[in-house]
Amino acid sequence: MIRQYELVERVRGYDPGVDEALLNRAYVYAMRMHGSQKRASGDPYFSHPIEVAGILTDMKLDVDTIVTALLHDTIEDTDATRADIDQKFGTGIGRLVDGVTKLTRIELQSDQTKQAENFRKFFLAMSEDIRVLLVKLADRTHNMRTLHFIEKAEKRKRIAAETLEIYAPLAERVGLRAIKDELEDLAFIELHREVRDSICARLDYLGSEETETVEQIIEELGRVCAKNGVASAVSGRRKSPYSIWNKMQRKHASLEQLSDIMAFRVIVDSLEDCYKTLGIIHANYQVVPGRFKDFISIPKANGYSSLHTGVMGPRQQRIEVQIRTHKMHEIAEKGVAAHWNYKEGATDGQQPKWLNDLLEILESAEGPEDFLEHTKLEMYVDQVFCFTPKGDLIALPRGATAIDFAYAVHTDVGHTCVGTKVNGRIRPLATHLQNGDQVEVLVSRTSTPTPGWIDICATGRARAQIRRFVRQSARAEFLDLGREIISKAFRQADESFSEDRLAEVCGQFGAETAEDLLVDIGAGHQTARAVLQAVVPRLAGAANGEPVAALTDAGKTRKKQSAVPINGLTSGMAMHLAGCCHPLPGDRIVGIVTTGKGVVIHTIDCETLEIYHGEPERWLDVSWNTEEEESQQVGRLDVVLANEPGSLANLSTVIGHNKANIFNLKITHRNPDFFNLIVDVEVEDVRHLTTIIGALRASPVITSVDRARG
């Protein structure tokens, strides 16, 4: 375990002006808070944050990052709170520790590695400050180093797989080459120990055979450079077992078939020397075509720069040579972090310049070698990442609602959703989701989407599915309604109805099939009478007589058996309850076939009906389907209320006592003595509404109550 003074020494080594008191305070605080907690290894828990801090001193990170590393598990694993950290170490460090804690919680929440891509993006989106991510990577590195202490094999494998899928690519992404190699190797040991052992054994064998060769190549390359006036340090490096295995799998090749197990590195003093050395090597050895890459002119997105080339070496075998300066080498090994200047620009409360530099690099165009997708922190600001209760990650655009989430899970879930729980609490479907929300969709098999959802969705997928559903169900309803209307018209004319008879005339109405014609009738694009007359031409003469399919005064001639029964209608699309008269079950009603809308239901005494007097063919006798299960309808009341304290409360109490729900309430007029209100109440039928009106009239503060008309 690193001692307190050692840690301070390390930081002072690269940052002489470091705030030592701050480091010491954090060290002591973390030690005290973790107390007697133990790691799986049996070590005191406190050794973990210290080792994590130690890893970050290797990257020469600023004191805030080192302090964050020391404190990184205090909020999650001890009694410490964010407020404690803020108070003792300042809000800057509090924010960083909080960020790491959030990532830790996400990590605990889900064990899905198949969504690695999403997780990597999520991590970047959540790491608003890159230092949060660096601490998390160091945390994972130490956990991997001590992975073998965990007893459950299953848990070890899961952590190793997650490391390979998520953390190693993230480390590469931010240029932490050494960390990436270590994470990969540790995970490789856990997941495929035998494969790794055999690759290592094979490499050792090949290596022992070629040790002499390698030494010779190193010596010869150095000599050639020196002869041409370039001072260089040449080294030969065996590629990592994991990268070799990866390549074997990618190329379906055996170890022997891989040409460049060895990479030679020539490190020189200056940029000019890099290109000069390249020229020297190309002049002395035969170039392997297609292997030259200039990552100095075009650095990789993570800041890596070097010249790569492939040549036939001194012994006529293919070798890879990398040429770079000392500085490029350090960046390649330790990431851009190694060259940040901590003091620069950090004084005015803005992001230090080095942070901006790194962000710039992350944002820069991806190089051809970059196996990760082009990512940058800002890129995910317009996305939110939410979890299903099982921990699956769903990525949605910012502004997405629970409905979008439901459709992202499955179309059927979307179609039947009725509500949602966000982080365990019931929320409206229109709730905008936030990063990290856990979303549970509540469904009801009998529920269906409403067109209004289209406006509260942010994803094209949800909108398209809702539109499709609405279109299809509208067609189905128009079809049923059309069949109902036309068969009634046939019955009244004493003609037998069949779809075959319709099929004969559908061409006349521009419909392809009898079914299309029925839909047109239901939607009000064709009248039942016109269709009936086309099928039975002798009825054409009756055009000026009694309307065939409709009754001008449904009230007088209403026959129960000939009326079209209408159901609950709350979500009906082919039949609507008129907004002018708000018919209720029990009211005497009539349907008006309205082009494109289907049938609109009015009460018999509704004034709006006057408009349709000249068009008897639009009228349709309808009746309430009383066998339908009870459903709630909205009745509208005109209320005049005394303007005194408690009068509104009195109104709602009376309505509540009568087991009705106020659906909407609007003040239309007010003066010093009275309010005029429109009150929409959900009631079972007209009797229910009448009861409520009676009760309201009995109240002393209510001046008058009437059903709203027209």
> Shortest approach of Mn ion to residue 138 CB, angstroms?
9
Compare residues 78 and 309 and give the one whose CB is closer to Mn ion: 78
Using the contact rule CB under 5 A, the part of the chain among 139-147, 228-236, 533-541, 625-633 near Mn ion is 139-147
| Exposed / middle / buried, residue 542 (Cβ in 10 Å: 0-12, 13-18, 19+) | middle
> Shortest approach of Mn ion to residue 386 CB, angstroms?
25
What's the rounded Cα separation, in Å, for the pair 97 and 664? 47
Using the contact rule CB under 5 A, the part of the chain among 56-64, 133-141, 269-277, 636-644 near Mn ion is 133-141
Q: Catalytic pick from 76, 128, 363, 680?
A: 76
Task: Assess contact for 187 and 160: CB atoms under 8 A.
Answer: yes
Q: Which whole-number Å values give the CA distances from 583 to 523, 595, 610, 619, 624, in the listed order?
A: 21, 20, 17, 16, 10
> Shortest approach of Mn ion to residue 136 CB, angstroms?
9
Among 51, 62, 64, 73, binds Mn ion (CB under 5 A): 73
Using the contact rule CB under 5 A, the part of the chain among 92-100, 131-139, 270-278, 481-489 near Mn ion is 131-139
Compare residues 75 and 474 and give the one whose CB is closer to Mn ion: 75
Category of 601 on φ-ψ map: left (φ > 0), alpha (ψ -120 to 50) or beta = beta
Compare residues 148 and 670 and give the one whose CB is closer to Mn ion: 148
The answer to whether 51 contacts Mn ion (rule: CB under 5 A) is: no
> Shortest approach of Mn ion to residue 103 CB, angstroms?
10
Among 51, 107, 139, 685, binds Mn ion (CB under 5 A): 139
Using the contact rule CB under 5 A, the part of the chain among 65-73, 251-259, 267-275, 457-465 near Mn ion is 65-73
Category of 424 on φ-ψ map: left (φ > 0), alpha (ψ -120 to 50) or beta = left
> Shortest approach of Mn ion to residue 37 CB, angstroms?
12
Task: Assess contact for 296 and 305: CB atoms under 8 A.
Answer: yes
Size of the site for Mn ion (CB under 5 A): 2
> Shortest approach of Mn ion to residue 436 CB, angstroms?
19
Question: Would you give the binding string for Mn ion spanning residues 450-469, x where CB under 5 A is met?
Answer: --------------------
What's the rounded Cα separation, in Å, for the pair 200 and 214? 17
If one counts every other C-beta atom within 10 angstroms of the C-beta of residue 192, the result is: 16
Compare residues 46 and 342 and give the one whose CB is closer to Mn ion: 46
| Chain residues 648-667 in contact with Mn ion, contact rule CB under 5 A | none
> Shortest approach of Mn ion to residue 139 CB, angstroms?
4
Q: Which whole-number Å values give the CA distances from 508 to 238, 399, 503, 596, in the listed order?
A: 83, 49, 10, 20
First to last CA, the chain: 83
What's the rounded Cα separation, in Å, for the pair 329 and 274? 12
Q: Which whole-number Å values give the CA distances from 290 to 102, 108, 277, in the listed order?
A: 45, 45, 19
Compare residues 34 and 120 and give the one whose CB is closer to Mn ion: 34
Compare residues 73 and 273 and give the one whose CB is closer to Mn ion: 73
Tokens of 462: 């949800």
| Chain residues 217-246 in contact with Mn ion, contact rule CB under 5 A | none
Tokens of 430: 């229109």
Task: Assess contact for 683 and 582: CB atoms under 8 A.
Answer: no
Question: Would you give the binding string for Mn ion spanning residues 85-124, x where CB under 5 A is met?
Answer: ----------------------------------------
157 contacts: CB under 8 Å, gap ≥ 6? 190, 191
226 contacts: CB under 8 Å, gap ≥ 6? 232
> Shortest approach of Mn ion to residue 32 CB, angstroms?
17
What's the rounded Cα separation, in Å, for the pair 187 and 271? 36
CA angle 31, 33, 34 (to 5 degrees): 70
> Shortest approach of Mn ion to residue 73 CB, angstroms?
5
Compare residues 42 and 368 and give the one whose CB is closer to Mn ion: 42
Using the contact rule CB under 5 A, the part of the chain among 66-74, 218-226, 228-236, 576-584 near Mn ion is 66-74
What's the rounded Cα separation, in Å, for the pair 310 and 293? 9
Q: Is 76 a catalytic residue?
A: yes
DSSP letter at 407? H
Q: Catalytic pick from 77, 98, 333, 515?
A: 77
Strands of 347-462, DSSP E: 383-387, 393-397, 417-422, 425-427, 439-443
DSSP letter at 288? P
What's the rounded Cα separation, in Å, for the pair 575 and 571? 9
Q: Which amino acid is at 679?
A: V
Q: State the residue for tokens 């190693």.
A: 168
What's the rounded Cα separation, in Å, for the pair 646 and 697? 16
Compare residues 12 and 39 and give the one whose CB is closer to Mn ion: 39
Using the contact rule CB under 5 A, the part of the chain among 68-76, 121-129, 258-266, 435-443 near Mn ion is 68-76
Closest-approach residue to Mn ion (CB): 139
Using the contact rule CB under 5 A, the part of the chain among 73-81, 280-288, 379-387, 597-605 near Mn ion is 73-81
> Shortest approach of Mn ion to residue 34 CB, angstroms?
11
Compare residues 139 and 172 and give the one whose CB is closer to Mn ion: 139
Task: Assess contact for 403 and 457: CB atoms under 8 A.
Answer: yes
Compare residues 73 and 685 and give the one whose CB is closer to Mn ion: 73
What's the rounded Cα separation, in Å, for the pair 47 and 62? 20
Task: Assess contact for 223 and 242: CB atoms under 8 A.
Answer: no
Question: What is the three-class DSSP state of 434?
Answer: coil
Task: Assess contact for 221 and 264: CB atoms under 8 A.
Answer: yes
> Shortest approach of Mn ion to residue 38 CB, angstroms?
14
Compare residues 94 and 547 and give the one whose CB is closer to Mn ion: 94
Q: Is 184 a catalytic residue?
A: no
Tokens of 436: 């990290």
Q: Which residues are catalytic?
A: 76-77
**What are the residues binding Mn ion (CB under 5 A)?**
73, 139
